[in-house]
């Protein structure tokens, strides 16, 4: 079948646009996957987003094209990148660790299996900070400036979407590993409520925090995956008002914000007010200033348990960062851990109460622009929200003049993922105005 989209660059299509074109018979999965692979072969020598590519992706695309329309899944024919901490049968799962080079799991991670069941094509595995935790940095560069980091730990997934290799990619977040790279790379990133998406088949770092996330180039795109992964259930029957109630906060660490992140927050507030939404500057409860510290205590103590076996078995072959956790070099006590768990529980209750007055809260996604180098970046503006277990979505926020990407985080109450996505669809045109169509003639 011939493509019906003229000479447009297929890699610039959003996932939703590609699905509509394939449903109309104007695009084939084979053509879309071919375009993605060509883009990767042309660009990835510089970007270095990928650790492995599927050798059967085009065959999978041909099988998709042969399916009658009525038998096609919700992700039919879409090439998707998988962060290399998720188990995949057909591709190695290395965790970017020298201990796992060439490792082939016996089963796909639960989330990978769900994507495959809906017709997605797993194009390959993307680079990550070692075990999505510490140790070895990803080699990936930021497509907007290759000297800079795309952010970690989901470096390769974020860069693959930002550089138009794929329209969708899986990520994870334990501190800020989905939201911060989305800000650095200028894409939409979504971290759902804690516990709503299965982590089966993904390396565990911190049991209390590890969350499956994902990237797209629009809110509609990340909503596609949310529906497939079971996040289309409403928390309650309360409809969103035409004018959203928005709280804007710089959080308790405002002194660590660079000018560009301050400006992104100020512009977001002004744009929302100009669009008629009800905006209020929000002061978070005083005890929230301690949440980042509590997050670190829990993170490293749960990491101690997660990596103890590898430290014992492999000794110095395991990066010293992991021995740092196993040996508790931070010096935290079990009393510290108990207090941190209590603060996490109380903080979740407190934020649930606070959100009764708002439809969405907006906060910084990162301290500033992506820094030079390959380090993951500072998670201080993400870790507290991760600890609270709330859904978060990064929206790119263009500044008044051309610049590197920067974003803001939209936050909703726990388990209000569907409402957050609906709010983000409303606010996307306000905070990140774009052309109605993403694909352009070459």
Length of the chain: 442
DSSP string, 83-148: ETTB--SSS---TT-GGGTT---SS--HHHHHHHHTT-EEEEEE--SGGGTSSSPP-PPBTTBTTB
Please state whether the peptide bond connecting residue 139 to the residue before it is cis, i.e. omega within 30 degrees of 0: no
54, 153, 183, 419: the active-site residue: 153
Residue 391 C-alpha from the chain's centroid = 11
83 is catalytic: yes
36, 54, 83, 250: the active-site residue: 83
How far apart are alpha carbons 140 and 125 in whole angstroms?
Answer: 13
Compute the radius of gyration of the chain from its Cα atoms. 21
177, 332, 384, 423: the active-site residue: 177
* Partners of 35 in the β-ladder: none
Beta strands in 244-294 (DSSP E): 245-248, 278-281
Residue with token string 């000479």: 7
Residue with token string 């096609």: 72
Q: Which two tokens stand for residue 27?
A: 């695009």
Quick check: 437 and 218 in contact, CB under 8 A? no
Residue with token string 């109605």: 436
Distances (CA, A) of 244 to 264, 281, 325, 372: 19, 14, 43, 37
Quick check: 228 and 192 in contact, CB under 8 A? no
Q: What angle do CA 152, 410, 16 make, to 5 degrees?
A: 80
Residue 127 C-alpha from the chain's centroid = 14
Query: Three-state SS for 54?
Result: coil
How far apart are alpha carbons 265 and 86 in whole angstroms?
Answer: 34
Distances (CA, A) of 120 to 59, 75, 81, 196: 13, 5, 10, 21
Give the Cβ contact number of residue 435 at 10 Å: 7
Strands laid side by side in the 360-364 sheet:
50-53, 121-126, 79-83, 168-173, 211-216, 188-191, 392-396, 407-411, 360-364, 245-248, 278-281
153 is catalytic: yes
Among candidate residues 183, 199, 200, 179, the one with its CA nearest the CA of residue 191 = 179
191 is catalytic: no
Residue 140 C-alpha from the chain's centroid = 16
Catalytic site residues?
83, 153, 177
């Amino acid at each position: 079948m011939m493509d019906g989209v003229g000479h447009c660059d297929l890699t610039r299509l959003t996932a939703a646009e590609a699905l509509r074109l394939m449903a109309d018979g104007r695009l084939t999965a084979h053509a879309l996957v071919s375009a993605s692979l060509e883009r990767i072969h042309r660009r990835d020598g510089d970007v270095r987003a990928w650790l492995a590519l599927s050798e059967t992706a085009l065959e999978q695309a041909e099988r998709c094209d042969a399916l009658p329309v009525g038998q096609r899944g919700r992700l039919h024919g879409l090439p998707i990148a998988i962060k290399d901490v998720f188990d995949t049968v057909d591709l190695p799962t290395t965790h970017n660790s020298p201990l796992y080079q060439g490792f082939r799991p016996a089963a796909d991670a639960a989330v990978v299996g769900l994507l495959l069941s809906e017709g997605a094509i797993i194009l390959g595995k993307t680079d990550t900070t070692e075990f999505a935790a510490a140790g070895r940095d990803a080699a990936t560069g930021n497509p907007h400036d290759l000297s800079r980091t795309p952010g970690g730990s989901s470096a390769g997934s974020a860069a693959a979407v930002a550089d138009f290799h794929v329209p969708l990619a899986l990520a994870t977040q334990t501190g800020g590993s989905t939201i911060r790279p989305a800000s650095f790379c200028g894409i939409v990133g979504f971290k759902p409520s804690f516990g709503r998406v299965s982590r089966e088949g993904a390396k565990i770092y911190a049991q209390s925090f590890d969350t499956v996330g994902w990237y797209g180039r629009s809110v509609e795109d990340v909503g596609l995956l949310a529906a497939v992964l079971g996040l289309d259930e409403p928390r309650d029957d309360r409809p969103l008002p035409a004018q959203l109630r928005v709280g804007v906060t710089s959080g308790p660490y405002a002194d660590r914000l660079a000018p560009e992140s301050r400006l992104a927050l100020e512009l977001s507030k002004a744009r929302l007010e100009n669009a008629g939404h009800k905006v209020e500057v929000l002061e978070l409860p005083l005890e929230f200033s301690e949440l980042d510290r509590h997050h670190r205590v829990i993170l490293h103590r749960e990491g101690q348990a997660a990596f103890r076996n590898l430290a014992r078995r492999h000794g110095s072959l395991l990066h010293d960062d992991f021995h740092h956790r196993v040996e508790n070099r931070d010096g935290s006590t079990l009393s510290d851990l108990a207090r941190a768990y209590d603060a996490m529980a109380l903080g979740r209750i407190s934020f649930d109460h606070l959100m009764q007055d708002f439809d969405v809260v907006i906060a910084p996604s990162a301290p500033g622009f992506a820094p030079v180098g390959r380090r993951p970046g500072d998670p201080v503006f993400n870790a507290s929200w991760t600890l609270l277990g709330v859904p978060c979505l990064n929206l790119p926020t263009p500044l008044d003049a051309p610049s590197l990407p920067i974003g803001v985080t939209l936050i909703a109450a726990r388990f209000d993922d569907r409402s957050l996505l609906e709010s983000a669809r409303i606010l996307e045109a306000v905070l990140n105005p774009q052309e109605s169509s993403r694909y352009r003639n070459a």
